[in-house]
Structure 1
Amino acid sequence: MDRNERLLHASSFGTAAAAYAEHRPDHPHAAANWALEPAPGPRVLDLGAGTGKLTATLVALGVDVIAVEPDPAMLTELRHSLPAVRALPGSAEAIPLPDASVDAVLAGNAMHWFDMAVAGPEIARVLAPGGVLAGLWNVMDDHVEWVAELERISGGAAIGPRDTSAGWRAQTADMHLPRTGEAPRFGSPEQAEFPHAQRRTADSLVATLATRAGMLVMPDQERTAELSRIRAFLASRPETAHGEFALPLLCGVLRVRRL
């Protein structure tokens, strides 16, 4: 994905902010705890916080969290659902915080949208020495047969390369973490996965997939056809055709420490 295409996809979520808040899954506490394990203190920045999915998990864990989000509609949803959280407009490339002001920077389903050549130095700037940078990705567990088949029939628009357990590790392992000359800003990355699930119906799973960037940027007619094909598939499967079911998920976590 080139820079213009990435910007188009990254800026698409505000058009579906309310649906995003309603349908996207939360992040499991175990995943956030693992991400924060090496952090030297309790001050956490949720960067690219969206509607506050990860922010809510961090609040529940009792850390001192600040949220930063560039999209006004997403930020409005976050402030509505979490009015006690300090939530600021800003981006990974221009973080509105002082130097060394947080002990960890976490990003929930967002880090792949950052321009790390610019965001990396900014993140390093706001992190205290020894601080943690971690990305968390909720992905569908394609070890489950019907999920793997859904991935195949979706053609990549609703379920992209980072949206399954088979894809997120490869997609994040080579994520560019900038250096200053020959000096690295961050240490070696570590990865872990945490299984969880989301209660869905066929309709609510379709609504969830409709909030993916690949779907949001589609022409209306093409998106309608894609979602109809997914709905027909779900109606054909015994696991998903009748009432509620557990959508199997993994939360993949990539963490590095600020040197």
Structure 2
Amino acid sequence: MTASSRAHSFNAAADQYAASRPSYPPALFTSVEQFTSRSLAGSRVADVGAGTGIATALLRAHGADVIGVEPGDAMAAQFHTALPDVPIVRGDGNALPLADASLDLITYAQSWQWTDTARSVPEALRVLRPGGSLAIWWNTTAFDVPWIREQHQRIACHCGVKPTSRERPDDSDAIRLAGLSGLRVARRQVRWSRTVSLDMHLANIGSRSAFLVLAEEDKRAFLREERGRLREMFPNEEVEEAYVVDLLVASRP
């Protein structure tokens, strides 16, 4: 299964993605402001790979003048439903449909991995103003929580992908960004959690790209078994999900 197929698989589950995917903690946006030395309020921002607008809505709530960039039809439709007054344009990070030197900040929430850095970094440099920044982040697995680590391994095995044992990105991502672009790179990890129903937890699993490309029966079989395991751990069917947001901010002179 190609990376492109996985990237576009979200369109088949846009409703599920919007309803079940986790948000981001306030401390993340405080860190972005600290690393960029700029308030989000009044900043011109593009949220690339915006999906259904989860990060975009939070950027707007912090006062940013934000635009979404999203390649997927169904994801863009969900974005427009959730944020009807926020502009969204079709495109991706490898060829941003944005003017030169027009932005203070470009953000990638859960979406940088779908880009070709040999193209997306120069595109970011083209679009950013002097002193502008590129912020990349992921909600990553809290591997120190045993049941979450074990579930991560089961999902990876079922989906035929290699399980990881670390947060993402690692230091090489920061070095590569700096080396490609000459940018100043800072990194921070922010831990947070949310409590959701068992149904929402399973829907979140089912909205992941490696899972979406599986055959329907394969998905249903795994989720049936996982529901049984989790009911034993969480008999009230309320699941506390723990995350570590991994943030990289690269700022240009």
TM-score between both structures, scaled by the size of structure 1: 0.87
List gaps (5 residues or longer) in structure 2: none
Alpha-carbon distance in structure 1 between the residues aligned to 2:58 and 2:158: 28
Taking only the aligned residue pairs, the percentage that are identical comes to 30
List gaps (5 residues or longer) in structure 1: none
Alpha-carbon distance in structure 1 between the residues aligned to 2:121 and 2:248: 15
**Residue matched to 1:241:** 235
Alpha-carbon distance in structure 2 between the residues aligned to 1:95 and 1:39: 24
SS at match of 2:191: strand
Alpha-carbon distance in structure 2 between the residues aligned to 1:223 and 1:120: 35
Choose 64-73 or 217-226, whichever is displaced more.
217-226
Q: Does 2:207 match 1:211?
A: yes
Alpha-carbon distance in structure 1 between the residues aligned to 2:96 and 2:246: 24
Q: Does 2:245 match 1:251?
A: yes
SS at match of 1:189: strand
Deviation at 1:236, TM superposition (A): 2.3
2:19 to 2, 18, 22: 22
Q: Which one-letter code corresponds to 1:167 in the other structure?
A: E
Structure with the larger helix share: 2
The number of residue pairs the alignment matches comes to 249
Matches within 5 A, 1:158-177: 166-170=166-170, 173=173, 176-177=176-177
Q: Does 2:28 match 1:31?
A: yes
Query: Structure 1 residues 243 and 221 mapped into 2: Cα distance closer, same or farther (>3 Å)?
Result: closer
TM-score between both structures, scaled by the size of structure 2: 0.89
Deviation at 1:47, TM superposition (A): 0.6
Alpha-carbon distance in structure 2 between the residues aligned to 1:65 and 1:49: 11
Query: 1:116, 1:178 within 8 Å by CA — same for their partners in 2?
Result: no
Deviation at 1:167, TM superposition (A): 2.9
1:12 to 9, 12, 19: 9
Q: Which one-letter code corresponds to 1:51 in the other structure?
A: T
Report the aligned-residue RMSD.
2.4
Alpha-carbon distance in structure 1 between the residues aligned to 2:92 and 2:99: 14
Query: 1:35, 1:134 within 8 Å by CA — same for their partners in 2?
Result: yes
Matches within 5 A, 1:15-164: 15-37=12-34, 38=36, 42-156=43-157
Query: Structure 1 residues 205 and 102 mapped into 2: Cα distance closer, same or farther (>3 Å)?
Result: same
Q: Does 2:197 match 1:201?
A: yes
Where in structure 1 do 4 or more consecutive aligned residues deviate above 4 Å?
A: 156-164
